[in-house]
A and B are shown apart, each in its own frame.
Chain A
């Protein structure tokens, strides 16, 4: 397995809309393994393939305290949502920025697991927020897009300023 490079905002490739997965095979499972490793190393609680410059609809999440509840979502779709919840979010592609985002509180989603089996599941709390955040990535949307234009501009400026300090 390998630890992969994560794209950093504002990178145009984070704006790509990912393609649906047509075939769940060993290559895809290898990608999923690398995504989990990259996410746990970061450390993060969710990662979308878009963030490692792979534009397929694949998401990995694990919101458990001990990092022992990995969940793979291939071609995820939210089919129902309800309520509102506000929570501070942060993103591996936007390091150091944390802002409160309002989203639906409860979701029901459909996806395919790493063995190619379709499943449906309900989520609330942090898991719900995290899945919505990652599905956004597959559509080229970042959590800062949910903020006011003013806040977004300030974050973009800050990120561009730090870009110079980061090792290439």
Chain B
């Protein structure tokens, strides 16, 4: 007999993966790709639907679980809680037959070696099925957007008028947005080729290189992907290279380069620049090299810590620095629903320290007259304009150049794109000049 992967095995995989997210703070983007490689397409898709879907709705699922359990589960039984979340998700959101789902998850208690949980899962799910509507309504009422409380508070505080549309954008499905490699083709040519293959597209509003695929196959199966004619990049992220506006022969630093989307875009716009792609994660830097190779571009790829230029910098100054700073990534929450579970309120303060630290350590690397483009995919003011306020106040030779654009909203400094605006991710940009 040969091993045939059944839906039950995919469910077990999903439960293990979610346990790593909730208990160990691992991200789905770390866990999912390698697991999916070994699966057939249909099981890979199911695994993604289960893990993403549960994260997107975790607060609601957990509010239902709270109503079902007499006492809450211990931390070491996170896997049992994940089985409950998954089963509820399948019944409530995927409309799977409840009898089959229940028996499958009851069986999985054996696979996770917790047979004592059999009765608990069986009882909870049966109780849920008896009162499905009222239990779900209570949970929705309690947390309509399935977001952690601190995050709702922060968004309400920073964006009181736009908060609701931000919350809705957090839960929406993100479009597949591509960037044409304008060194070899144009957006219009690619869209024409796609059209002939019956793949519908629409152009991005604010970048000439960008377009969205409305309904199509997985990205690697799109015509021209392996030939390097386009890359995957959200419209907001495509703005970065245009704002850097690299000129022929300039020395440019992409300070947090991995996975290399913005680096490649800089080279596509101006192939003659001397670009340094820096990142402190050697593993993720490999992706930068792969992307450069696929697009046939040249750059100096360096493993090093942007906060400590002394360890890698050759003392020749840069004309431009792109600091796409480590951030909460809340602007891209719709693409990474596990952020809901991974991010803590205390992270924001720590990230703020890191962001200002990077600005301080990279500023001396700029030539007088040089420019630094500060970017985050966050929507919190603390990571964005407040960070700029602080840096500008303490750095007399730093002057902000206001960005004149049709996208986003100007704040005290820089411009903020809120998630969902023109179907784009939330992003923040500010440009600083060195006198």
Contact = CB atoms under 8 A, between A and B. Distances in A.
Interface of A: 42-46, 61, 63, 87-92, 98, 125, 129-130, 133-134, 143
Interface string B1-21: 111101000000000000000
Contacts of B1: 44-46, 61, 89-92, 129-130, 133-134, 143
Nearest to A61: B1
Contacts of A43: 2-3
A58 to B, nearest CB: 15
Contacts of A125: 107, 110
Interface of B: 1-4, 6, 107, 110
Q: Is the interface of A mostly helix, strand, loop or mixed?
A: mixed
Contacts of B3: 43-45, 63, 90
State the 4 A-B residue pairs at the shortest beta-carbon distance, nearest first.
A46-B1, A90-B2, A133-B1, A88-B4
Question: Which of B1, B4, B107 has the largest number of chain A CB atoms within 10 A?
Answer: B1
A63 B107 CA distance: 17
B110 A42 contact: no
Nearest to B7: A88
B2 A44 contact: yes
Q: Which of B2, B4, B107 has the most CB of A within 10 A?
A: B2
Nearest to B8: A87
Nearest to A87: B6
Contacts of B6: 87-88
B13 to A, nearest CB: 11
Contacts of B110: 125
A91 B4 CA distance: 9
A89 B110 CA distance: 21
20 contacts: A42-B2, A43-B2, A44-B3, A45-B2, A46-B1, A87-B4, A87-B6, A89-B4, A90-B1, A90-B2, A90-B3, A91-B2, A92-B2, A98-B4, A125-B107, A125-B110, A129-B1, A130-B1, A133-B1, A134-B1
Contacts of A134: 1
A143 B2 CA distance: 12
A134 B1 CA distance: 7
Contacts of A45: 1-3
A130 B6 CA distance: 14
B38 to A, nearest CB: 12
Contacts of B2: 42-45, 90-92
Contacts of A98: 4
B247 to A, nearest CB: 56
